[in-house]
Amino acid sequence: MTHHALRLALTLVLVCGMAATVLCFPPDSPADTTPDACETDLAATAMVLTDPDGVMDIVRVAALPPEAFSPVGGTTVTFDPGTAAAWIKIPLDGTLRRSVGTTYLSLGWPRLWDADAIVELTLFHRTAMPSSGDGDPAGWRSLRLVKDGRLGPEYAFATPFSFALDFPPGQWPAALFLRVQGDGLRFPLVLRSHESMTAHQQSSMVFFGIYYGIVFTLVILNLSMLVTLRESGYLWLTAYSLAELGFFVSANGFLLDILGSRSLAVSWAWGSGMLGLVGLTTAMLARAFLKTRERSRRFDATLLAHGSLCAVCGLGAMFFSSHSVADLEAALVTLGPFLALGATYACRRRGGKAMVFFSLAWVVWAVGGAVGLASYLGLLPASAVAFHAFQATSALAALLLTIAMAERVYMLRREREVAEAGSQAKSRFLARTSHELRTPLNAILGLADYLLGSRPTPDVREGLGTIRDSGRHLLAVINDILDISSIEAEKFTLDEGDFDLTRLIATTGAIFETNARQKGLAFGVDIDPATPRVVRGDSRRLRQVLINLLGNAVKFTPSGEVRLAVAPDPSAGPDMVAFAIHDTGIGISPEKRGRIFTEYGQADADIGRRFGGTGLGLCIAAHLAHCMGGGIRADSRPGQGSVFTLTAHLPPGEEAAIPPDPAPDDESPVFSEKTLRVLVVDDDPLNCKVSLLHLTRLGAFARAVSSGEKALALLSREPFDVVLLDVEMPGTSGPELARTIRQGGRPGCPRDIPLVAMTAHSRPDAERISREAGMDGFVLKPVNFYELAGFLRRFAREDAPGADNRGTVQDGVLLHEAARRRLGLSRDDYDIVLPICLRELQASATRLRECMTAGDAPAAFRCVHNIKSTAATIGAMACSRAAARLETALRSQTPLAELAGMAAELEHALAGLADGPSPIAATAPEA
């Protein structure tokens, strides 16, 4: 529904509701505008006599001289609580004594001090002839109206406490005497003719019809908007309208008719409770509409306290029937609009029309409430006009509040549309920027890796290493910005699959084990035997979080140790695994701990200067943990280290679904021109050159073209095993070219040739678009060509004559270059780390023999696990695989006596390393 349609619907519904409800309250008779339709205010001429002991009777009172009475002195007769009894003498002039027909003495709109008050009203008038049998003194007749929790038969609808006076023409008394006894009463004193009473009732019914028509319609409208929009403001606006409706149903006398009761105590309790609810919902509506929790903490606390106090006073007035509590409740409720106005002023920014209507509503409500409260407390005459003014302004305020909510919803929707448009523009900008940054980064990193494998001099090697490390750092920053953008746009999804959790932990720990040792830190990984080995989840994102947490632990720990402990966490839920990273670093103070998980947040500015970083890592890690069904908890003390605990939902997976380990890479060629022919299609000449250099070094035959048309022409003439396609090219794009090939769009072009997409685009749907176009693989730039080589093996013709299998390495040989590249170390650094790892392997082997001899299975399991991870770190894959087999057997609690063969196999693999392999700096080319 558009904004203008909502306004039109609101207007039509209100008009129809008013008309329909007015018809439900037809007047008893047509209004009479003749001169006989009159009413007279008697309070101005009435006189009062106090009877403290309550012993005077009508005979004695009537005999007293006029000087014994005191004038009322106003338009309202008032008896405070504690007054025992009083007499009101009402002189009647000649005009009134000549009236014809029934006349009503009305105590219109009385205000009772107390719900449990006992008020006895007795009207005496002298008759021409003494009456007998009525129990009154001769010559006097009484009309009695007693309010003791029940209403007498004289109670008239909408005209409470009215006496019907039916005197024959010319027999009106000269004066009326009204005896009042009770716990407090305030009322105007009016004499109305029958026509005036009829007109009065008719005008009241018309007013009630309009009022209830408006409020009922607003309740229905706001309730429908609440169900549709689920907006908290509509919840409190609906509650406010219902509370206001409930209060006036009681005040107007409808409640007793609805309940079929004549008890005023019920009406009092209901009205008090509803008035307190009006105060509560006023405060809560202002909080929800103005968002004071975010914009003004002071007013938020004030409104909350005010609403709570109104609710307490409402309950107190309901159950204790105290006039003091009722007066406090009325004053507090009247104060509510003024507090709402103050909060509106404090939160006036970005309000627009909605804030104008909201402010105007409380101004109207405040004026009407002030008039009603003044009349209620006796500061103004207690008249129907004052009471109706309060009721009318409350309905108008509800109408204005509904309009304000509609304006606010419209404004929020427009802001959301603008924000979504901005988010889409930002996504397009980031995608384009990412493409433009990744394209040259692909050339920079590719050429740096290529030149590092060309035996450069030490100075050149150092410079190339700096270029490569700087490029990788820039790539990491780009990836962080793209991740946080996807998270903010709520477009972040996980790519779940089955994977080996133990392998992931070992390879991730190996990266930081070397870095920790370079800083002189102890590093350890402990995996609880109960931890499942094969799980289902997003392995790439889990590795990303662990790398971030372990990287921070190593970065911020100058001395001591860093340890990763992995174990199931049943307390967090089924299939939950906890990863606890312990360090002895600088620690974080409690007041700064909350800010580290915010965007660009660091413990303090000095951290960024000393250690660097964008401050996005932990924010992204926290979001990733949440997406994985867990979270991150930080426990830290300054100077005593930290413990960051990651929990993730990782249900058991299927081992058969795990892809095999990729064949390790080294610098020797893994293909030959007879085994793999590759066609590169990329419009960027530099990227084509980098791709050709690396593919040629890997031993493959490679050709490059710059457009889709040239690719189709070349594929029609020459055979190729695989095509690497750039996704975004001028003319025919990569997906369009893939669809053309799959549909056989060029004679002689093979339709089933493997196609691999290469793109610098960061859009989350880029891979989906490529696969829908018929491509077999997806590679994101900058391309890691050694990982790409492992991917391309599936397309190589290994059974071709003369196939070159130099990429296969026999067990027992150290895979130096694969391990070094995986660890990110230079050749010299790797030569330093290698002897340390070999000595640790031999020490672990000695401990393993001792544990096997002593029958200590848990200690043997820890030794085997350390051997497996350390061997994998330096590329001793035969040792690592033998240790993995023994570790699996120990985890299944196989008796040690049955594992002698596996232990001997592991010792044999370790013995092959004991001969002391030569450092790789002298035997292998640089990567």
Least confident of 436-440, 546-550, 632-636, 762-766: 762-766
Q: How sure is the predictor about 118, in pLDDT bands with cuts at 50, 70 and 90?
A: very low
Question: Which of 291-300, 431-440, 583-592 has the least mean pLDDT?
Answer: 431-440
In a domain, 328, yes or no: yes
Q: Check pLDDT > 90 for residue 578.
A: yes
474 is a domain residue: no
Give the pLDDT band (50/70/90) at residue 811: very low
pLDDT classification of 95: cutoffs 50, 70, 90: low
Residue 50: pLDDT band (50, 70, 90) is: confident
Give the CATH number of the domain where residue 393 resides.
1.20.1070
pLDDT at 317: 76
Same domain, 317 and 267: yes
Q: Is the pLDDT of residue 802 over 70?
A: no
Q: CB within 8 A of 843, min separation 6: which ones?
A: none
What does DSSP assign to residue 594? G
Please determine, for residue 924, whether its predicted confidence score (pLDDT) is greater than 50: no
For residue 243, what pLDDT band results from cuts at 50, 70 and 90?
very high
Residue 742 covered by a domain:
yes
Task: Answer yes or no: is pLDDT of 861 > 50.
Answer: yes
Range in 234-248, 336-350, 488-502 with the lowest mean pLDDT: 488-502
Tell me, yes or no, whether 639 and 769 share the same domain: no
CA distance 276 to 179: 34
CATH of residue 918: 1.20.120
Q: Which of 741, 736, 735 is nearest to 715 (CA)?
A: 741
The reported pTM is 0.50
- Per-residue pLDDT, 547: 86
Instruction: Flag whether 439 is in a domain.
Output: no
CATH number at residue 155: 2.60.40.2380
Q: What is the pLDDT of residue 588?
A: 82
Name which of 362-376, 708-722, 807-821, 868-882 the model is least confident about. Answer: 807-821
DSSP state of 263: B
**In which domain, by residue range, is 413 found?**
201-420
The pLDDT assigned to 679 comes to: 92
pLDDT band at 14, cuts 50/70/90?
low
446 belongs to a structural domain: no
Mean pLDDT of 549-577: 88
**Residue 603 has what pLDDT?**
46
Which residue has tokens 């690592």? 880
Instruction: Please give the residue that has the higher pLDDT: either 31 or 254.
Output: 254
Residue 189 placed within a domain: yes
> Best-predicted range by mean pLDDT among 7-11, 263-267, 270-274?
270-274
Instruction: Output the CA–CA distances (angstroms, integers) from residue 795 to 740, 809, 902, in the order listed.
Output: 21, 20, 36
| Consecutive H or E run containing 183 | none
Q: Is the pLDDT of residue 281 over 90?
A: yes
Average pLDDT estimate for 896-911: 80
Q: Point out the least confidently predicted range of 135-149, 495-509, 652-666.
A: 135-149
> Do 91 and 213 reside in the same domain of the chain?
no
Question: What is the pLDDT, as a whole number, of residue 507?
Answer: 78
Work out the number of other CB atoms within 10 angstroms of the CB of residue 459.
Answer: 8
d(CA 265, CA 271): 10
- Is a pLDDT exceeding 70 seen at residue 805? no
The predicted pLDDT at position 830 comes to: 64
What is the identity of the amino acid at 261? S
Do 206 and 280 belong to one domain? yes
pLDDT tens string 386-429:
667 788 888 889 989 998 888 888 887 887 888 777 777 776 77
Domain co-membership, 555 together with 540: yes
Number of domains, the chain: 5
Whether 184 and 207 map to the same domain: the answer is no
Residues 190 and 56 in one domain: yes
Kindly report which listed range (313-317, 609-613, 730-734) carries the lowest average pLDDT score. 609-613
The verdict on 271 and 343 lying in the same domain is: yes
Helices (H), 292-351: 292-295, 297-320, 323-346
Same domain, 884 and 841: yes
What CA–CA distance (Å, rounded) separates 551 from 594? 20
Same domain flag for 693 and 760 = yes
Q: What is the CATH number of the domain that holds 585?
A: 3.30.565.10
Question: 710 and 623, same structural domain?
Answer: no
User: If we measure between CA atoms, which residue out of 283, 248, 286, 225 comes closest to residue 13?
Assistant: 225
Q: What is the pLDDT of residues 142-198, one digit of tens each?
A: 444 443 333 333 333 334 456 677 666 666 677 777 777 655 566 677 777 777 777
3-state helix, strand, coil in the chain (%, to 5): 55, 15, 30
CB of 554 within 8 A of CB of 612? no
Tokens of 453: 């494998």
**pLDDT, mean over the chain:** 74
Cα 381 versus chain centre, distance: 51
**Residues comprising the chain, all counted:** 927
Pairing of strands 777-780, 755-759: parallel
Quick one: which H or E segment has residue 648? Answer: strand 641-649
Per-residue pLDDT tens digits for 444-463: 888 887 787 777 887 888 78
140 and 72 housed in the same domain:
yes
| pLDDT reading at 568 higher than 80 | yes
At 245 the three-state DSSP class reads: helix
Q: What is the mean predicted confidence (pLDDT) over 697-709?
A: 86
Q: How confident is the model at residue 210 (pLDDT cuts 50, 70, 90)?
A: confident
Predicted confidence (pLDDT) per residue in 704-758, tens digit = 998 888 988 898 888 898 999 888 888 888 889 898 888 877 777 888 888 988 8
Domain-located, residue 4: no
- With contact defined as beta carbons under 8 Å apart, do 162 and 107 qualify? yes
Sign of the dihedral defined by the CA atoms of residues 382, 386, 390, 395, in that order: positive
**Do the domain assignments include residue 6?**
no
pLDDT number for residue 468 = 78
Structure tokens at 709: 């048309």
- Calpha distance 741→723 (Å, rounded): 11
Q: What percent of the chain has pLDDT over 70?
A: 69
How would DSSP label each residue in 599-618? TT--S-HHHHHHH---S-HH
Of 762, 795, 828, the position where a domain reaches its end is 795
Domain final residue pick, 176, 198, 220: 198
Q: Which of 656, 686, 711 is the last residue of a domain?
A: 656
285 touches 77 (CB < 8 A):
no
Q: Is the pLDDT confidence value at 126 over 70?
A: no
Higher local confidence (pLDDT), 604 or 477: 477
Lay out the sheet containing 162-165: strands in order across: 39-41, 190-193, 103-106, 162-165
> Does 112 score more than 50 pLDDT?
no
Confidence of residue 283 (pLDDT cuts 50, 70, 90): very high
Question: How far from chain centre, in Å, is Cα 888?
Answer: 44
Higher pLDDT, 443 or 563: 563
